[in-house]
Amino acid sequence: MNQVLCSTGALIGRPNKRNYRLLETLAGQLDCDGFEFMMYDTWYEEREEILSYLGKIGLKIPVVHCDKDVGEAISCGGDENLEAALRLFRINCHMARKLKASKLVLHLWGGTASDQNIKNNIAVYGELAGIAGEHGLELLVENVVCNREDPMKHWHFLRQEYPDIRFVFDTKMAAFHRQLGLLYQGEYAWLWREGHVAHYHVNDYAGGYMDWKRLMTLPLGHGSIDFDQFFRFVKTTGYQGAFTVEATAFDSQGKVDIGMLNGCFGAIRRYLDK
């Protein structure tokens, strides 16, 4: 049975001072099946308080999104950065286990360095997957945007090196590189035939090819992605996992647009029911 999740990153951000305590009030207004918890780099000193709070309010969190700084540190290269990345990654794994999540989403590369030294990022994946496994987590590598090559190319090499690897497919990230259509092609049937895609992020995109100025996370229907085609295809693969909505819902004052998010959840369910 497919679940529709909401990213906490869609609700909590800098405009509302990353106040995680808003989740208790907001969660009750959202018509989703659970949450994908987004870890921020400013929360490490508060992590025990955050875990206690989330446990108290009883949010269902089957998926945790690892702090994006982990992948950026790996991309920057060097022993010191790698050591920092592994230290932060272990903390993220610890938190995910405490939250009773089963999946951990990772940006394996990122930041200004992005995929410019991708061999380093690919080489460290095995160690990261091992750490995640020790915490009872399935590690999922996202098709993060690149500034040198493209995510599908990197996924191909990752699969060659690590045949059991699992991915999270983000529609916006794919559309940014004009790679959404590759999901439907026989050349990439291994993605779903071998069960490599274990999660989806469902976000719209309104820019052109590698249009950095328009790399915003939009609600369904606010961009150019053909979601009717996307969901029709995903259903043919027999996928029974979850879909996470990440569309930024807070404005410059931090106010959250609950109606917009509920509209996204409803749209996904209607597509799945067709």
Mean pLDDT of 52-63: 97
Number of neighbours of residue 121 by Cβ within 10 angstroms: 25
Number of neighbours of residue 49 by Cβ within 10 angstroms: 12
Domain covering 3-273, topology = TIM Barrel (3.20.20)
Of the candidates 87, 80, 10, 6, the one whose C-alpha atom is nearest the C-alpha of residue 41 is 87
Query: CA dist 219 to 100, 156, 168, 258, Å?
Result: 28, 29, 18, 12
- Indicate whether 2 pLDDT > 90: yes
Mean pLDDT value across the chain: 97
Element (H, E) at 63: strand 63-65
**Tens digit of each residue's pLDDT (9 = 90 or more) over 106-146:** 999 999 999 999 999 999 999 999 999 999 999 999 999 99
pLDDT at site 142:
98
1 confidence band (pLDDT: 50, 70, 90): confident
**Tens digit of each residue's pLDDT (9 = 90 or more) over 39-55:** 999 999 999 999 999 99
5 confidence band (pLDDT: 50, 70, 90): very high
Does pTM surpass 0.85?
A: yes
Helix ranges (DSSP H) in the chain: 23-27, 47-57, 69-76, 79-98, 118-134, 151-161, 171-176, 190-193, 227-236, 258-273
Are the C-beta atoms of 174 and 234 separated by less than 8 Å? no
Domain boundaries, the chain: 3-273
